[in-house]
């Protein structure tokens, strides 16, 4: 199924749990989340699991979500070829189930590629998959495989070019505020392009309207949902102030 509009709001970055616990956990998260991200490179161990382990988690997640929420699935591997293999394996599985909800591939291209030629690489990807993409820009994971002189962020000019590709729907961003603002400017000509905060602290201090990809929402989903629903402003009603307020109300700290 082609998803035309990317999700907005609270995207829960699912943690990797034992299968039975994962099922119960996801049923609870499903009540609050606007979307879920599966196989993330850190919380979801997406760079370390075998293909069969990944497919088992996708199958279980698809069964429980049952098309009611968008699925954002991390597909990145060590090489372009292995990333393509993930795409093909996962898409075949989702069509076999069949999964009728919205699906987005989440890809960290600088983990296995470079800025040079990135638009051409995605053109190749578009020819072999029916699902759209959300980019993942996180220098922390790129540093594990790239040398000190390699770029760790998607270049602003490259992001601007990629933002005109209709099947690239957004970007999950980790980094400083200056780069975040420059990325926002780069995609201004495409209002539907979403930039999500992957850094909870950055979101609390400088929230954006598109939403948050949150790992701590596995523990406190209602609190994050309330923060997003109320809207976060500067000053006394900052995100950090609201978070502490909700924690105090909910857990009587």
Read off the pLDDT band of 234 (50, 70, 90).
Answer: very low
With a cut of 60, say whether residue 15 has pLDDT above it: yes
Q: What is the pLDDT of residue 4?
A: 66
Apex CA 102: angle with CA 96 and CA 106, to 5°?
A: 95
Q: What is the pLDDT of residue 19?
A: 83
Residue 213's alpha-carbon distances to 47, 156, 193, in angstroms, are 18, 21, 16
With a cut of 70, say whether residue 219 has pLDDT above it: yes
- For residue 109, what is the DSSP state? G
Spatial CA neighbour of 220 closest among 29, 46, 74, 18: 29
Domains delineated in the chain: 9-218 (3.20.20.70)
Please state, in angstroms and rounded to a whole number, the distance separating the CA atoms of residues 81 and 147.
Answer: 21
Read off the pLDDT band of 205 (50, 70, 90).
Answer: confident
Q: Which of 72-86, 97-111, 176-190, 222-236 has the lowest mean pLDDT?
A: 222-236
Spatial CA neighbour of 213 closest among 119, 130, 135, 151: 135
Q: How many CA atoms lie within 13 Å of 208's alpha carbon, on the beta-carbon side? A: 22
Q: What is the pLDDT of residue 11?
A: 97
Q: At residue 103, what are phi and psi to the nearest 5 degrees? A: -130, 135
With a cut of 50, say whether residue 70 has pLDDT above it: yes
Residue for token pair 């990809």:
213
Q: What is the pLDDT of residue 220?
A: 92
Q: What is the pLDDT of residue 235?
A: 40
Model's pTM, two decimal places? 0.91
Q: Classify residue 139 by burial, with Cβ atoms within 10 Å: 0-12, 13-18, 19+.
A: middle
Q: What is the pLDDT of residue 247?
A: 53
Report CA dihedral (209, 210, 213, 216) to the nearest 10 degrees. 30
Q: What is the pLDDT of residue 243?
A: 59
Please state, in angstroms and rounded to a whole number, the distance separating the CA atoms of residues 194 and 8.
Answer: 8
With a cut of 50, say whether residue 251 has pLDDT above it: no
Q: What is the pLDDT of residue 201?
A: 86
């Amino acid at each position: 199924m082609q998803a035309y509009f990317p999700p907005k709001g609270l995207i829960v970055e699912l943690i990797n749990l034992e299968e039975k616990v994962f099922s119960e956990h996801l049923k609870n998260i499903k009540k609050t989340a606007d979307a879920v991200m599966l196989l993330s490179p850190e919380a979801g161990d997406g760079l370390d699991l075998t293909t069969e382990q990944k497919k088992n988690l996708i199958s279980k997640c698809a069964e429980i979500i049952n098309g009611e929420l968008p699925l954002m699935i991390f597909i990145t591997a060590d090489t372009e070829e292995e990333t393509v293999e993930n795409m093909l394996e996962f898409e075949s599985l989702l069509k076999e189930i069949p999964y009728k909800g919205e699906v987005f591939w989440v890809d960290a291209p600088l983990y296995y590629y470079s800025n040079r030629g990135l638009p051409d690489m995605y053109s190749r990807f578009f020819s072999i998959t029916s699902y759209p993409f959300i980019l993942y820009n996180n220098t922390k994971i790129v540093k594990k495989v790239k040398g000190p002189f390699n770029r760790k962020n998607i270049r602003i000019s490259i992001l601007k070019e990629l933002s005109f590709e209709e099947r690239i729907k957004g970007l999950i961003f980790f980094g400083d505020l200056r780069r975040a603002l420059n990325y926002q400017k780069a995609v201004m000509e495409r209002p539907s392009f979403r930039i999500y905060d992957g850094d909870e602290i950055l979101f609390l201090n400088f929230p954006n309207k598109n939403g948050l990809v949150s790992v701590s929402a596995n523990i406190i989903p209602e609190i994050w949902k309330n923060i997003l629903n109320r809207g976060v402003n500067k000053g006394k009603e900052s995100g950090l102030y609201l978070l502490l307020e909700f924690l105090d109300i909910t857990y009587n700290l």
